[in-house]
């Protein structure tokens, strides 16, 4: 589901680990932050 927010520009793409997995900070993925950002962009 993270890709949904990433594709819409609501969060920045995470850096990649050495194995190719996306790495995100806990603050970027906190539900209240995602909801607030989505609300401001009209989702």
Report pTM.
Answer: 0.46
Residues in the chain: 43
Q: How far apart are CA 41 and CA 17, in angstroms?
A: 29
Mean pLDDT of the chain: 77
Which pLDDT value is given to residue 32?
Answer: 67
The CA–CA distances, whole Å, from 38 to 3, 24, 41 equal 14, 18, 5
How many CA atoms are closer than 13 Å to the CA of 29, on its beta-carbon side?
Answer: 11
d(Cα 4, Cα 19) in Å, to the nearest integer?
22
- State which residues form the domain around 29: 2-41
Least confident of 12-16, 21-25, 30-34, 37-41: 30-34
């Amino acid at each position: 589901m993270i890709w949904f927010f990433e594709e819409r520009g609501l969060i920045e793409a995470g850096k990649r680990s050495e194995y190719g997995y996306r790495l995100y900070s806990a603050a970027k993925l906190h539900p209240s932050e995602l909801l607030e950002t989505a609300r401001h962009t009209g989702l």
